[in-house]
Structure 1
């Protein structure tokens, strides 16, 4: 049986740090003092320090636009057509810049498959073909787009790459996870929805998966759908953009759901036997829920918490930022689990070990 490896992982973000500016803007939407106090308390608990965007922040929180490009004008946020134009303009640049960090050189000609995951934009010909053309890949490379699966799509992409390499051991798969979440900011005074939008940032990861005996060995995957949670995370196309709903009940349901299915997911192993944890940092409360649901030690999810603080939630790209950190710092023989959540409410899990 062919062992499949994640040989390399690189990551990239746009240059604009917008977290503070977006917090300041959100405050200007809240006239009620009690609502503002609640917002401040919850924003502080989020434990996010930086988020990045392809849009430059406005110079003042009281400006007529949230951003310097005047995309989010007060009282006139853009329609979906404008948001998709921005995705088509900015996504290829971030994707190509990130792939360049793999330093493929002449090895680019050896790439046989390209998989792209994104749930924040769409156009055709799309990112898959842009990567082939701008990264000097062969035109006959097989391309797959994974769209609208949400934050767990990176693990879906890794599973596809795993199947490809096992069936064709000479394959070399380029996996790109790109999300421009800040293109879907909505004008709202609803505290729950406002806080969910203030989690998200833009980011991209690029990975090389093959049978070459270097990096993280993929061992197996698990998919779980938590019953009765279908409407807790939704992501729908509307006239004013992609409309995200993230219920405040998500963490409690993740915690309870993991307690029920932990033995099945872990294959009757103990969570404490796994030394490396790459849990998608969808938010501080979600990491806390996983910690409680699997009875993990407080320091177990340190890598995920660092990514959350430094970048926020970048949807499908985020768990790859955590895996990048673990790939760089782990030692041979260490075993790990990558886990991410998305609409459904579904949990995608990948088990691995350091070669």
Structure 2
């Protein structure tokens, strides 16, 4: 019995224009940082989404407790919409779900989103739940892998929800360029997928490969502070990625008896323009093969763990194997191979 991805859904809050949010807030916020305007202009982001629009409310002085309360308030309707959409696409009712997994690195509460949403959606009282917390941008792939293991072992459907509200973590004005980069890229979204046992339609999860380089653990961090969560982001991240991405993809495809030429779609997490450039160059891809990732970056920004699921939605009509890749703290790379449920 194999786990097949049969449905997907997503939800985003209010759209904000990148130029408008620079002019309306960040230009003053980073008035003393000469490179800040260039960073925003070269981010590859045209529009993104925010539950807390900094042009309307400045959260940079809020304490972490207040931000977490806001997270629950905002995440519940977005998560519900994404999960309901995924279940509807899969042709399932909430009562059919055996496992509900939630991935997030931007908010915490107990009872968490998993309990609150399961009750609100009408999932069964015997539901099994899993929280994938604080893994960062790559969390969707280990989350899918864990859900797939459950589906395979228990022959019950599973749902994975990635819900990230990065706008709740705008930081006080500092001269650190990594904060400018983070505020130029990150965005809010919820995305969900359904996995079912042995389904005849959809995409089967055929393999997952992970690689962590602990020698570069300080290159990407996400620290809990008294003023929300603070991103640490080294400009050396693309260089580290370039050392590992080829071997990870080779291991993933070789294990399935495939070559890069057999891949019909590439769902690469758009951590930023340089990340996509490195993946393109190291794997010998064309710009057309990265179009879905570039499009998601332009229209949604970097929505942390939800982003790769948004790219997979863009590739819903692709016929053939799809490779999904995401990168995050650790420094960690995750890659997954999804193949058509029939014929592979």
For residue 308 of structure 2, what is the aligned residue in structure 1?
Answer: 319
For residue 318 of structure 2, what is the aligned residue in structure 1?
Answer: 330
For residue 94 of structure 1, what is the aligned residue in structure 2?
Answer: 78
Asked if 1:258 corresponds to 2:245, the answer is yes
For residue 62 of structure 1, what is the aligned residue in structure 2?
Answer: none
- Aligned 1:122-133 pairs, distance under 5 A: 122-133=108-119
Asked if 1:29 corresponds to 2:29, the answer is yes
Q: Give SS of 2:47's match.
A: coil
For residue 219 of structure 1, what is the aligned residue in structure 2?
Answer: 206
Q: Give SS of 2:147's match.
A: helix
Asked if 1:12 corresponds to 2:11, the answer is yes
Q: Which runs of 5+ in 1 are unaligned?
A: 58-65
* Inter-partner Cα distance in structure 1 for 2:277 and 2:213: 18
* Inter-partner Cα distance in structure 2 for 1:261 and 1:106: 34
Q: CA contact under 8 A between 1:16 and 1:54: conserved in structure 2?
A: no
Q: CA contact under 8 A between 1:330 and 1:354: conserved in structure 2?
A: no
For residue 61 of structure 1, what is the aligned residue in structure 2?
Answer: none
- Aligned 1:242-281 pairs, distance under 5 A: 242-267=229-254, 269-281=258-270
- Aligned 1:167-186 pairs, distance under 5 A: 167-169=153-155, 171-186=156-171
Asked if 1:202 corresponds to 2:188, the answer is yes
For residue 345 of structure 1, what is the aligned residue in structure 2?
Answer: 331
For residue 40 of structure 1, what is the aligned residue in structure 2?
Answer: 37
Structure-2 change in CA distance of 1:216 and 1:80 (3 Å): same
Q: Give SS of 2:46's match.
A: coil
Structure-2 change in CA distance of 1:352 and 1:276 (3 Å): same
For residue 286 of structure 2, what is the aligned residue in structure 1?
Answer: 297
* Inter-partner Cα distance in structure 2 for 1:16 and 1:271: 36
Offset at residue 183 of structure 1 (A): 0.6
Which deviations, in whole Å up to 9, do the C-alpha atoms of 1:269-294 show, x marking residues without a partner? Answer: 43232121111111111111111122
Q: Give SS of 2:86's match.
A: coil
Q: CA contact under 8 A between 1:220 and 1:352: conserved in structure 2?
A: yes
- Aligned 1:52-71 pairs, distance under 5 A: 52-55=49-52, 57=53, 66-71=54-59
Offset at residue 39 of structure 1 (A): 2.6
Which deviations, in whole Å up to 9, do the C-alpha atoms of 1:231-263 show, x marking residues without a partner? Answer: 111111111111111111111111122245553
Structure-2 change in CA distance of 1:178 and 1:85 (3 Å): same
Structure-2 change in CA distance of 1:20 and 1:85 (3 Å): farther
Q: CA contact under 8 A between 1:18 and 1:53: conserved in structure 2?
A: no
Which deviations, in whole Å up to 9, do the C-alpha atoms of 1:55-104 show, x marking residues without a partner? Answer: 2x3xxxxxxxx3424534xxxx1111111111121111111122222354
TM-score, with length taken from structure 1: 0.89
For residue 63 of structure 1, what is the aligned residue in structure 2?
Answer: none
* Inter-partner Cα distance in structure 2 for 1:206 and 1:145: 14
Q: Which runs of 5+ in 2 are unaligned?
A: none
RMSD, aligned CA: 1.8
For residue 46 of structure 2, what is the aligned residue in structure 1?
Answer: 49
Specify which of 59, 68, 71 is matched with residue 84 of structure 1: 68
Offset at residue 10 of structure 1 (A): 1.0
Q: Give SS of 1:160's match.
A: helix
